[in-house]
Structure 1
């Protein structure tokens, strides 16, 4: 085959025309494996040596744009300077007869990190850190070559299998890489062609405002990515790109515990401290180099502390010897719930990483052995030979519900000491679960928590201890931690979902308190856990009722769960939208309900909208921002309803 003589103007048609051709007399293009705004990536083969390759071809229509052509050439130049196993390799670069450019690179058999994250929602800290260690190893080499990548994101990291490592990471796409120095003219602004100078979600503050950057900008992006991998969402996000860049420059990242999906155990404090340092606004306050970042990660992943808490929680199959559960694709828009696979990490306190080298200290790429991947857990659940005792204790729900009632009437109390008869639970004599249950029965959830935390390394495979841990956290209104413990308990012993105290705790978590802060996302997680992880007969009815409750907090909590569970046909949407219109605190908060009522097409909304138009507070109109939309909706709904019936 020979070079194609002509090219069609439409980029997609150009793509079809190139399949089957030979580029530059060397590379046969066999199939399209990727498309982007600038070009197409083909699976191909070097026709002489039969080496599989990936060939990236710049669209002909863009080859004449100097900025974009420069970006393509920049990628070839940058990759050509780099020879590292954690960075993609380039074999060739050239021009085609029609003026378009091509890059011949190694063909990777793997998946983008973005696909892995979309499928699994979040990763355990150990797993995330191992993947990021690969990327940092590549960046260490890149930075030593005087290059800043400037576009670290999940889509630019490919996960492949290499030798015994099933999640070996390779860094791609150096199209907007920057040379630190004068070897390349960096005055060409790629943004002139409408191309983002980086990806806003991962952009460092100095990059966002156009200040000079160095490798620490890439390390900031790594920290954003680490946060996203462990929490399932980045620390900052909004659809408004300008607002997003402002968040990077002015807003502190949220606490990771507030962002964790249900089912994920707490992030070790030392890991969170490391990421907070990586996310510092000023480059001089960040981790100074990829080498220092790797050293800190190695400290966390060291084998010297087998109880580090970073290891992914063993699956039920690993604990029992049964086959592992099949992963389920179960994303939930920032409100994830454990699916029984046992992923996540155990809460743990770690020492801070050792002191990192001072900013500016010379650090070249230093080879170091990768941490040994954690061996599969050999723990097994065995029948206990110890005698058991029947413990009659005060049920957790006594002080859970009591505390809720007290909060509702404005009286702050920690524990209600009213004695109640709870279920008789047979707990192993002398076990941590028994001791914790005793503390809980005495109205001392703090004591139960201290007791269980002291032996946390020994109770990871103990469902009864995890259940008591959940009860202790629930009694202290630490709902995210409670759900994480309950999740593990049910993974280990699904029948524990019938535990009366667990069910009472879920009821408490899904109730709005009139005293203290109510977090709709946390309440929603509890609703979802109740509906998916228990056999409570009316769990879904409770979700539907909450979705149309008078309380804005309950509606905000339950509506995402309704969508997740496919219960929308059971919701009275007219009621929901009317309540939103009436209860929104500002005009801007009330305005979306106008469009929703119009779309609903219910003539009952006509009077509601008229009242909204006329709404006043202290004789002043308060809905000015929605008057036009509401008036238009009234006309539309009136015409749709038709004339009133004749008398």
Structure 2
């Protein structure tokens, strides 16, 4: 990637928020994204009658109002939302867009015969006042997960628009777990690469909430693009993954593994030359985050847990010690999906999928998708990344980048002597010796956790 190419930060001159880099179609077909400019929606709404505006909000066509009104129950387990019943916290709610005033209460749209019950919101500017006093101004909530909420924010010390992730307190009451999170966050903070999302700060609020200050990524994730477009054109895939491989090569040289590389962690921003500018998020953080509420939990010898193994290497599924090669297997899974719209291996059952990752050879792209024009050289790169044995994959991310650059320039690629996995002979078949005792291994790992 040329060093002079920069990504664009398009800011709305009216509201001061980032502009999401997609073409507008119509008010009904657009999703209004939290944290991004919605001026066009406000202009369109101004031409509607109040009843029509309310109707659209009830139908969910204007997701901005739903997202703004949804109750923040970050502190539900910490008794922050004392006035909110559990049913109210779990249900969707919305602010009536015909009402110009929002005083921090959520007006539930529903049966008009029943009075609306106010739900108290978690206000980070109040609950984390000591963090706000450091110079951070929390704005609207832009995301949520099982362990955290993410807020858009500004800082008097940092020019960029920020995203601040606030974690639940309870999972990190264990001092060892918190210390590991802090160590990984501090290591990520030291990294400096154009294609890695910057981590600016990490800390613990006076009320015990861990928080992480990161770049606000003003673009869709690769997962969104695949969902909307089905699959990506070959030149675009090559451009994107040259950047991904470059970022991974840098991280690996700094002794950092991603451990959770997947399409939702790869963001596509605009660049000055109108191409995709990649930003990879959550580097290394997956190592220490507990994963509550998943059907199946796998555990490494170090006590790390993880869930659905759609992009996980065989050694990660088996709970073995990881190396940069594990990230390369994940990279192969993501490239396979970007080129075809399908995962190399899939199952609705996470244990079965983990077994497949360990024991089943995926079909090659050119065999499985003969209707797609995928160059054989690119197919070989992806299938080499998907080899079961780490030593049979690329030796390092830099080699992946060089191979992709050669494909982009129309040159023949030079792969190492190791034969890449083709999936031709054993595609769809199980029985690798690596999978012997696999299910028993899973049982032993889970049993080992419950016995602690």
Q: Distance in 2 between matches of 1:15 and 1:135?
A: 38
Q: Which residue of 120, 124, 128 corresponds with 1:18? A: 124
Q: Name 1:442's counterpart in structure 2.
A: none
SS at match of 2:310: helix
Q: Name 1:189's counterpart in structure 2.
A: 303
Structure 2 gap segments, 5+ residues each: 1-74, 91-118, 289-299, 419-452
Q: Distance in 1 between matches of 2:207 and 2:257?
A: 32
Q: Name 1:280's counterpart in structure 2.
A: 387
Distance 1:296 1:28, change over 3 A: same
TM-score by length of 1: 0.42
Shift of residue 274 of structure 1?
Answer: 1.4
Larger Rg belongs to: 1
Contact 2:186/2:202 (<8 A) preserved:
no
Q: Name 2:166's counterpart in structure 1.
A: 57
Q: Name 2:340's counterpart in structure 1.
A: 231
Q: Which residue of 374, 379, 385 corresponds with 1:267? A: 374
Q: How large is the RMSD of aligned CA atoms in angstroms?
A: 2.9
1:307-326 equivalent positions in 2, closer than 5 A: none
1:62-77 equivalent positions in 2, closer than 5 A: 62-66=171-175, 69-70=178-179, 72-77=181-186
SS at match of 1:28: strand
SS at match of 1:80: helix
Q: Name 1:245's counterpart in structure 2.
A: 354
Q: Name 2:234's counterpart in structure 1.
A: 125
Q: Distance in 2 between matches of 1:357 and 1:140?
A: 21
1:558-637 equivalent positions in 2, closer than 5 A: none
Q: Distance in 2 between matches of 1:295 and 1:14?
A: 54
Q: Distance in 2 between matches of 1:238 and 1:287?
A: 26
Q: Name 1:300's counterpart in structure 2.
A: 407
1:496-535 equivalent positions in 2, closer than 5 A: none
Q: Which residue of 193, 218, 221 corresponds with 1:84? A: 193
1:31-50 equivalent positions in 2, closer than 5 A: 31-47=140-156
Shift of residue 36 of structure 1?
Answer: 0.8
Shift of residue 43 of structure 1?
Answer: 0.3
Distance 1:104 1:133, change over 3 A: same
Shift of residue 223 of structure 1?
Answer: 0.6
Q: Name 2:275's counterpart in structure 1.
A: 166
Shift of residue 68 of structure 1?
Answer: 5.3
Distance 1:71 1:235, change over 3 A: farther
Q: Distance in 2 between matches of 1:156 and 1:70?
A: 24
Say whether residues 1:99 and 2:159 are aligned partners. no
SS at match of 2:279: strand
Distance 1:70 1:187, change over 3 A: farther
Q: Distance in 1 between matches of 2:213 and 2:417?
A: 38
Q: Distance in 2 between matches of 1:218 and 1:157?
A: 13
Distance 1:271 1:50, change over 3 A: closer
Contact 2:301/2:320 (<8 A) preserved:
no
Distance 1:260 1:79, change over 3 A: same
Shift of residue 62 of structure 1?
Answer: 3.0
Structure 1 gap segments, 5+ residues each: 179-185, 306-349, 359-647
Contact 2:313/2:330 (<8 A) preserved:
yes
Distance 1:274 1:41, change over 3 A: same
1:440-519 equivalent positions in 2, closer than 5 A: none
Q: Which residue of 414, 432, 436 corresponds with 1:354? A: 414
Q: Distance in 2 between matches of 1:66 and 1:111?
A: 35
Shift of residue 211 of structure 1?
Answer: 1.7
Contact 1:288/1:357 (<8 A) preserved:
no
SS at match of 2:202: strand
Distance 1:123 1:212, change over 3 A: same
Q: Deviations over 1:96-145 (max 9, x none)?
A: 11111111112221111110110001011221121111111110110000
Distance 1:235 1:71, change over 3 A: farther
Contact 1:216/1:283 (<8 A) preserved:
yes
Shift of residue 17 of structure 1?
Answer: 2.4
SS at match of 1:170: strand
Q: Deviations over 1:161-205 (max 9, x none)?
A: 132243111111131249xxxxxxx964232xxx43xx5011111
TM-score by length of 2: 0.60
Distance 1:136 1:165, change over 3 A: farther
Shift of residue 49 of structure 1?
Answer: 5.6
Q: Deviations over 1:438-463 (max 9, x none)?
A: xxxxxxxxxxxxxxxxxxxxxxxxxx
Q: Which has the higher helix share?
A: 1
Q: Distance in 2 between matches of 1:81 and 1:233?
A: 35
Shift of residue 51 of structure 1?
Answer: 4.3
Contact 1:58/1:72 (<8 A) preserved:
no
Say whether residues 1:176 and 2:294 are aligned partners. no
Q: Distance in 1 between matches of 2:213 and 2:139?
A: 13
Shift of residue 265 of structure 1?
Answer: 2.8
Distance 1:67 1:35, change over 3 A: farther
Q: Name 2:81's counterpart in structure 1.
A: 8
Q: How many residues align?
A: 294
SS at match of 2:165: strand
Q: Deviations over 1:566-625 (max 9, x none)?
A: xxxxxxxxxxxxxxxxxxxxxxxxxxxxxxxxxxxxxxxxxxxxxxxxxxxxxxxxxxxx
> 290-299 vs 153-162, which deviates more?
153-162
Distance 1:284 1:243, change over 3 A: same
Distance 1:116 1:37, change over 3 A: same
Q: Distance in 2 between matches of 1:83 and 1:283?
A: 27
Contact 1:71/1:190 (<8 A) preserved:
no
Contact 2:314/2:388 (<8 A) preserved:
yes
SS at match of 1:110: coil
Q: Deviations over 1:8-55 (max 9, x none)?
A: 378887863226765241211101111111101110011456642111
Shift of residue 237 of structure 1?
Answer: 0.3
Q: Distance in 2 between matches of 1:290 and 1:240?
A: 30
Shift of residue 75 of structure 1?
Answer: 4.1
Q: Name 1:201's counterpart in structure 2.
A: 310
Shift of residue 69 of structure 1?
Answer: 3.2
